[in-house]
A = this chain, B = another copy of it.
Amino acid sequence: MKVMAPTTKMYEKIEFTWPAGFYSDGLHAGLKHEKLDMGWLYSAVPATAAGVYTTNQFKAAPTTITQQLIKENHQLQALVLNSAIANSCTGEEGFQNAAKTQALAAAALNIDPSLIGIASTGLIGAQLPMDKIAAGIAQLQLTKNDKVTKAVLTTDTKAKTITVQLHLNGQVVTISGFCKGSGMIHPNMCTMLGFITTDAAISHEALQTLLSDQTESTFNQITVDGDTSTNDMVVTLANGLADNLEIQTDTKDYDKFASAFHAVMAYLAQHIAGDGEGATKLVEVNVAHAATTKEAQQVAKAIVGSNLVKSAIFGKDPNWGRIVAAIGQTQAKVDVAHLSVWLNQLPLVEDSHAAATPEAKLAASMGKKTIQIDVDLNAGLANGQAWGCDLTYNYVKINASYHT
Give the B-binding residues of A (Cβ under 8 A): 55-58, 88-89, 91, 123-125, 187-188, 190, 224-230, 305-308, 311-312, 314-315, 317-322, 324-330, 334, 336, 352-354, 391-393, 395-397, 399-404
In the complex, A315 Cα to B326 Cα: how many Å? 28
Q: How far is the CB of A12 from chain B (nearest CB, A)?
A: 39
Q: How far is the CB of A281 from chain B (nearest CB, A)?
A: 12
**The residue from B227, B328, B400, B404 contacting A58, defined by CB atoms under 8 A apart:** B328
Query: In the bound complex, do residue B403 and residue A124 qualify as a contact, i.e. CB atoms below 8 Å apart?
Result: no
Additional A-B contacts beyond A230-B328, A320-B404 (8; CB < 8 A): A57-B330, A57-B336, A58-B352, A226-B307, A227-B326, A228-B328, A317-B400, A391-B400
Query: In the bound complex, do residue B229 and residue A325 qualify as a contact, i.e. CB atoms below 8 Å apart?
Result: yes
In the complex, A353 Cα to B393 Cα: how many Å? 32
Q: Give 8 nearest A-B pairs by CB, closest first.
A: A315-B400, A124-B321, A311-B399, A225-B307, A58-B328, A57-B328, A56-B328, A314-B400
Query: In the bound complex, do residue B403 and residue A397 qualify as a contact, i.e. CB atoms below 8 Å apart?
Result: no
**25 residue pairs A–B, Cβ–Cβ below 8 Å:** A56-B325, A57-B327, A57-B329, A57-B336, A58-B325, A58-B327, A89-B321, A89-B324, A91-B353, A124-B320, A187-B325, A188-B319, A188-B322, A225-B308, A227-B322, A228-B328, A230-B324, A230-B325, A307-B307, A307-B399, A312-B400, A314-B396, A315-B402, A319-B404, A321-B404
In the complex, A347 Cα to B229 Cα: how many Å? 23
Across the interface, name the chain B residue whose C-beta is closest to A353. B91
**Given A325-B56, A392-B396: A353 and B306 within 8 A (CB)?**
no
Query: In the bound complex, do residue A190 and residue B91 qualify as a contact, i.e. CB atoms below 8 Å apart?
Result: no
**Given A89-B321, A188-B319, A225-B306: A396 and B391 within 8 A (CB)?**
yes
- Across-interface contacts of A401 in B (CB, < 8 A): 315
How would you classify the secondary structure of chain A's contact residues: helix, strand, loop or mixed? loop
**Given A319-B404, A322-B188: A308 and B393 within 8 A (CB)?**
no
- Across-interface contacts of A312 in B (CB, < 8 A): 188, 399-400, 402
- Across-interface contacts of A402 in B (CB, < 8 A): 312, 315, 317, 319
Query: In the bound complex, do residue A226 and residue B226 qualify as a contact, i.e. CB atoms below 8 Å apart?
Result: yes
Q: How far is the CB of A91 from chain B (nearest CB, A)?
A: 6
- Across-interface contacts of A393 in B (CB, < 8 A): 393, 396-397
In the complex, A225 Cα to B393 Cα: how many Å? 15
Q: How far is the CB of A142 from chain B (nearest CB, A)?
A: 34
- Across-interface contacts of A324 in B (CB, < 8 A): 58, 89, 124, 230
In the complex, A320 Cα to B187 Cα: how many Å? 11
**Given A311-B399, A325-B187: A318 and B404 within 8 A (CB)?**
yes
Query: In the bound complex, do residue A400 and residue B325 qualify as a contact, i.e. CB atoms below 8 Å apart?
Result: no
- Across-interface contacts of A306 in B (CB, < 8 A): 225-227
- Across-interface contacts of A317 in B (CB, < 8 A): 400, 402-404
Q: How far is the CB of A93 from chain B (nearest CB, A)?
A: 10
Q: How far is the CB of A341 from chain B (nearest CB, A)?
A: 11
In the complex, A327 Cα to B131 Cα: how many Å? 33
- Across-interface contacts of A305 in B (CB, < 8 A): 226
Q: How far is the CB of A330 from chain B (nearest CB, A)?
A: 8
Across the interface, name the chain B residue whose C-beta is closest to A401. B315
Interface centre among A55, A56, A320 (most CB of B within 10 A): A56
**The residue from B56, B190, B321 contacting A190, defined by CB atoms under 8 A apart:** B321
Query: In the bound complex, do residue B190 and residue A325 qualify as a contact, i.e. CB atoms below 8 Å apart?
Result: yes
- Across-interface contacts of A334 in B (CB, < 8 A): 57
